[in-house]
Amino acid sequence: MTANRPQPRPGVLDIEAYVPGKSSAPGVEKVFKLSSNESPLGPSPKAIAAYQEAGKHLEDYPDGAASDLRDAIGRVYGLDPDRIVCGAGSDDLLNLLARAYLADGDEAIHTTHGFLVYPIATLGAGAKPVVAPETQYTADVDAILARVTPKTKLVFLANPNNPTGTYIPFDEVKRLQKGLPAHVLLVVDAAYAEYVRRNDYEAGIELVATCDNVVMTRTFSKIHGLAGLRLGWMYGPAHVVDAINRIRGPFNVNLPAIAAGVAAIEDSAHVQRSADHNAKWLPWLMEEIGKLGLKVTPSVANFVLIHFPQEKGRTATDANAFLMKRGLILRQVGGYKLPNALRMSVGSEEANRLTVKALAEFLGK
């Protein structure tokens, strides 16, 4: 039977569209946006200056290969620029990986509370998302491996994971890679790697350097404070880089983003300030919120996942409404199968203290 109008490919209409964190609270004069894990310190002044300088040349196409940016990333991390691909945020690269390696009927695995872009990218490529259960809100290597079938082509692993803030040690990531068939591509999404202060953590660079079936994605949106420019990068084996370069848009990274990205990644002092701010306030938030009697999932990223009781008047929905009236915008995470929790980004000192105080008021403490 012929359709009476154009039809999207199978899988597209099964997608639940991504809903970003709210950015406004109607009727509130001063707002603290703690819903999108943005940097409370903002971007490097050097990145802002580079962005403004690039604004003088907006009539020019950017370098389609983003050579200056790939070279800068290579210098900072000691990587071969030829094995780096840049994109419009790491989301762009995750979708390109799905397009390049998934066909109709294939499967891609992600964990229960993994980043929502993984099932979106999978369904958009005509493949089937397969969910591996987590253990204590943390990726479980054995659960992932148990769900590998002959149809599996991709495994998405957010490490640290958003929105839980948990991570798995490097030995576990290596065990996962070792347990996967050689044709399955392991995508290590390390968007929050710069915040992690654990001796047993590694972002994925070493594994990519030694394996043919691992890629690592990173972002400039978090610690570098360039979320508004949409900028990310991927490090992978030469054969994966070749495939992605064949299908990505010829100018998929804009000129101001390239300029700001080079300046941002080379400003190590600003990156360190941002990491230090997080290292101070992340444990403070976990401790102070915990003192209120709320469970907080231990986090190594730049946000905390706060769990609320299922009691009338004290639920996550109730708390969200209470905080919104005070201009404190947290992230509702029902879409991540966490209806009884809110995710709070580490904010400025003022925002952090105000949120803890407001939560105490909400709980009547």
Determine contact, residues 211/237, Cβ cutoff 8 Å.
yes
Equal CATH topology for 20-42+269-362 and 45-266 = no
Please tell me the predicted confidence (pLDDT) of residue 228.
97
Give the β-pairing of 341-345 and 303-307: antiparallel
Residue 25, phi then psi, degrees to nearest 5: -130, 100
Please tell me the predicted confidence (pLDDT) of residue 282.
98
Question: What is the rounded CA–CA span in Å between residue 120 and residue 132?
Answer: 16
Determine contact, residues 143/168, Cβ cutoff 8 Å.
no
DSSP-assigned states of every residue in 155-169: EEEESS-TTT-----
45-266 CATH pick, 3.40.50.300, 3.40.390.30, 3.40.640.10, 3.40.830.10: 3.40.640.10
pLDDT in 10s for each residue of the chain, 365 residues: 677 888 888 888 887 877 777 777 777 778 999 999 999 999 999 999 999 999 999 999 999 999 999 999 999 999 999 999 999 999 999 999 999 999 999 999 999 999 999 999 999 999 999 999 999 999 999 999 999 999 999 999 999 999 999 999 999 999 999 999 999 999 999 999 999 999 999 999 999 999 999 999 999 999 999 999 999 999 999 999 999 999 999 999 999 999 999 999 999 999 999 999 999 999 999 999 999 999 999 999 999 999 999 999 999 999 999 999 999 999 999 999 999 999 999 999 999 999 999 999 999 97
Burial (Cβ within 10 Å: 0-12, 13-18, ≥19) of residue 31: middle
The b-or-e profile of 236-270 (16+ CB within 10 A means b, else e) is bbeebbebbeeebeeebbbbbbbbbbbbbbbbeeb
H or E element: which one contains 345? strand 341-345
Please tell me the predicted confidence (pLDDT) of residue 79.
98
20-42+269-362 CATH pick, 3.40.228.10, 3.90.1150.10, 3.40.190.10, 1.10.10.60: 3.90.1150.10
Q: Retrieve residue 306's tokens.
A: 């706060």
Extents of the domains making up the chain: 20-42+269-362, 45-266
Q: Retrieve residue 98's tokens.
A: 């799905």
Please tell me the predicted confidence (pLDDT) of residue 157.
98
Listed in order, strand segments (DSSP E) in 206-294 are 214-219, 232-235
Please tell me the predicted confidence (pLDDT) of residue 3.
78
Please tell me the predicted confidence (pLDDT) of residue 25.
72
Burial (Cβ within 10 Å: 0-12, 13-18, ≥19) of residue 94: buried
Please tell me the predicted confidence (pLDDT) of residue 1.
60
Please tell me the predicted confidence (pLDDT) of residue 268.
98
Please tell me the predicted confidence (pLDDT) of residue 354.
98
